[in-house]
Structure 1
Amino acid sequence: MFEDLEEESVDVSADSPDRAIAWAIHTRGESGNVTPEEGWAILHERYPDDARFLLLNLYAEVAEVKKQESGNNKPADVLNAGYLLKKIERVTAADPTGALEPQLRELTTFGSAILAGAKDDELATLKALRDRLGIEGEAKRDDRDRAGLKLRRFEREVLKELDDRTQDNKPLGVARVTAPKSDPASDWASAVADTSKAKSKYAPAAKLAAGELVEHPKFGVGVVTGTEPGKAVILFESGVRKLVAGA
C-alpha cells in the first residue's frame, strides 16, 4: 500500500492530504510527525461522519499505552477507565446503525486492563456497556491479545480502502472546513518566549487551561491551545498533540 509515497519519502504533518495522513498511520508514524493515534484523529476531524476513524483513534491510543507498558516504561499520559468509557460512548453515538458493534466489543476487551480501574459511577457504565455488547466474564491476557489482533486486521482493511480511495491524491470527501491556521512554529516560539506565563510540569491528573505553558518529559515545553473532556491540546516544538489532562 501507498507505494508512491514510499518512493517519494514524503514528510507528513497535520496539514498533509488525506492520503499522506493514511500513509503515516500505515507506517506507524515513521513518515513524519504524525503518529497513528494523531492520524486517525485528524481524519475524524475532517470527516466526523465516519465513526471508524474515531474508533481506530481510540484503538491506537490504547495500543500505544500497551506498547509503552510492555517496554517497562510508565506512559506519561496514561489513559484511565473514565476517559476510555467516554470515548467508547462517543463511538457508539456516532454509529447509530450498530455497524461497528463487533469492533467495539473487541475494543472493550482489548482495553479491559484499563477499564478494570473503573470506580464509583464508572462501574455502572462499564456494566451497561458489557451487557450491551454481550461480554461475559473477565478478559484474560489471551483474550486481550486476540482482540488486539482483530482490531489490527480491521485497521489494515480500512487503510487498504483509504489507499484505493485516495489514489492520485484524491481527498476522501468534502472535509469539514476549519479556520485558516497560523504558522505553528512561530506560535510555539512566541508562546514559550513569554516570560510572564507560569510554567508547570505535565501530569495526567492536572487540569490545564488554554494559554498555559507545560513542560512534558518527552516533548519538552508546550503551550495549551485548547481543552476537551479529559484531554488538552498542546502545541510543542515538534507539533500539536492531544494528551490526557484533568482525568
Structure 2
Amino acid sequence: MRIESVVNMGPQQREWIHLNIDVTVETADPRFNQAVKDAGSNVGQADLDHLSNNLDQLAENIAVFTNKTRDALSPVWVFSDYDAYKDVFPEAAHLFEEQGRPHKVERGDNDDVIRKTEPNAVPDNVEYFERLKGQGIKGVVITGLYADICVLETAQSLLDEGFQVMVVEDLVDTNLEETRAEGMQKLKDSGARMVSETQVMDALGHGQLNELHRGSFTIEESTQRNAGNTKSAQCISYLRR
C-alpha cells in the first residue's frame, strides 16, 4: 500500500514522532497465534480469534494513518526481537526468520526501526530516545499492540522520561476487550492523552498537535474557526479520506 503523505504541516509537528508497536507479519500470521496457544500460553482461543479477526483491519487503518501523516510524524517501528522466543514457541520459529516487516504497510526508506526484548520498548533503546530528545522531539503518538502490555509499559516509561504521550485509541488493540479497556484506563491514569485518529488528523491539518495534547483543540472549534477558509476545509477533507 502506498498513500501520498499529507502536506501543509506546521513546524511544531516536528516535535512529535509516531511510534507503532508490534503490528508485524508475525503477529498477523494465524500460525503464530496457534503456536502461542500450543505452547501452553494462558491466552484462550477466543482471545486469539478476537485478535486474528481484528488485526488485519487495525493494520490497514494504521497503514493509512502512517502514510498520510508521514511528513509530519516521523514513523518509528517497534519490533519484538523474537530470537528470545524461539525456544518458547518452536512451532513458530520459521515465522521469525523474516521478522521486522510491518503488516499491511510499506515501510518508508527514512523510517526508524528499533527492537525490544521485553514488552517495554524503552529499556533496550534508552540512547535512541535520548537522541530524539536532543533533536527536539518532545512528544510521541502511539499506535499498535497490546493496549494492556506493550503499549502501556512503553507509554509509562516515555512519560517517566519526560515525553508527552498521546495514544490513538482506535488504532490500538489487544487480545480481549476487557483487557483493552483496562489498559486504556491505566494509560489515562498514567498521564497519557487519549485521542482518536480523526482528532490527530484534524489537529495536524491545523498545526495544532500540541494544543490537542493540552486539550485546548477540538474538531468543533477548528471547524468554526475555519468556516470561511476553503483551503483548510479541503485539507480536512483530504486528511479524512
TM-score category (smaller protein): under 0.3
Higher RCO (CA 8 Å, separation ≥ 6 residues): 2
Which structure's residues are more often strand, by fraction? 2
Q: TM-score, normalization: structure 1? A: 0.22
Q: TM-score, normalization: structure 2? A: 0.22
